[in-house]
Amino acid sequence: MGLNLQRPLCFFDLETTGINVVKDRIVEIAVLKLFPNGNKESKTWLVNPEMPIPKGASDIHGITDEKVKDSPNFKTLSTEIYAFMKDCDWAGYNSDRFDIPLIAEEFMRAGVDFDLKNHKTIDVQTIFHKMEQRTLTAALKFYCDKELINAHSAMADTDATYEILLAQVDRYDELENNLEFLSNFSTRKRSLDVAGFIVLNKENQPCFSFGKHKGKTVEEVLEKEPGYFGWLLNADFPLYTKKVLTALRLSKFNGGS
């Protein structure tokens, strides 16, 4: 059985210089685009991160400074990559916590007008952990009875993620075969920014999820401590988080809810 799609779904995986969403950079991105008619199209880009790739990262994914020294940087590739992925929904493995926040940060740095509201997202790892609690290699073995060859190669991990989601939809009767259900099911928390610093409470009010104001509404904090907004804009937070926070502040000033 295939996935029931209303528009294309992009499975993607990133290989990076590290795991810091703000400071680290993409060195490889692989995208598998699945169309509603079942057709597939895949693309892989090597990216020059314009910073040294730590040996620990190279040991995992095999991508070295030498391998990417003649590759374009992300800003050069950003228009091409986003053109391939826009007007699509997105899926990945641990994508809500890492891949989507990082690629959003790269798009923002490159000046691409990225907005997560234009994309439904599915995190296959969340579905897996809710159902079975394992790793990607174990997931492929469990669901598809296959060994993951070339683990931490972006396309190998991307193909594995696609096959696992197909198998999950086939296996679990409670998983509806539509993007809205799978997106909602695989979302850990309702956040307005991709990194999860601004979340919605039970009353659908934007709240901070970190620091001294954790659990407090954005409106309450900015009203009582207006300097906190300036501190956040100058602190080491993802650009998309700052964009969301700025929009909330402007909405308040303009009389929005």
- The conformation of residue 41, written as its DSSP 8-state character, comes to E
Residues 113 and 237 in one domain: no
Looking at the domain assignment, is residue 2 inside a domain? Answer: no
| Residue at which a domain ends, from 151, 185, 219 | 185
Per DSSP (E only), the strands in the chain are: 9-16, 26-34, 40-46, 89-92, 121-123, 198-200, 206-208
Looking at the domain assignment, is residue 63 inside a domain? Answer: yes
Residues 158 and 233 in one domain: no
Residues 135 and 243 in one domain: no
Number of domains in the chain: 2
CA distance 215 to 199: 9
If you average pLDDT over residues 96-100, what whole number do you get? Answer: 91
Poorest-confidence range of 57-71, 75-89, 122-136, 168-182? 122-136
Looking at the domain assignment, is residue 13 inside a domain? Answer: yes
Looking at the domain assignment, is residue 75 inside a domain? Answer: yes
Residues 156 and 33 in one domain: yes
How many other β-carbons are positioned within 10 Å of the β-carbon of residue 35? 13
CATH of the domain at 116: 3.30.420.10
Range of the domain at 98: 9-185
Looking at the domain assignment, is residue 193 inside a domain? Answer: no
Contact 207, 216 (CB under 8 A): yes
- pTM given for the model: 0.70
Residues 202 and 170 in one domain: no
pLDDT digits (tens, 9 = 90+) for 124-151: 999 988 887 578 898 899 899 999 988 8
Residues 72 and 178 in one domain: yes
If you average pLDDT over residues 193-209, what whole number do you get? Answer: 91
Residues 27 and 154 in one domain: yes
| Residue at which a domain ends, from 138, 161, 185 | 185
pLDDT digits (tens, 9 = 90+) for 179-191: 999 998 987 778 8
Cβ burial, residue 202 (10 Å; 0-12/13-18/19+) = exposed
Residues 82 and 206 in one domain: no
Residues 35 and 118 in one domain: yes
CA distance 151 to 137: 8
Residues 175 and 212 in one domain: no
Q: Measuring CA to CA, how many Å separate 114 from each of 31, 48, 150, 239?
A: 17, 21, 31, 11
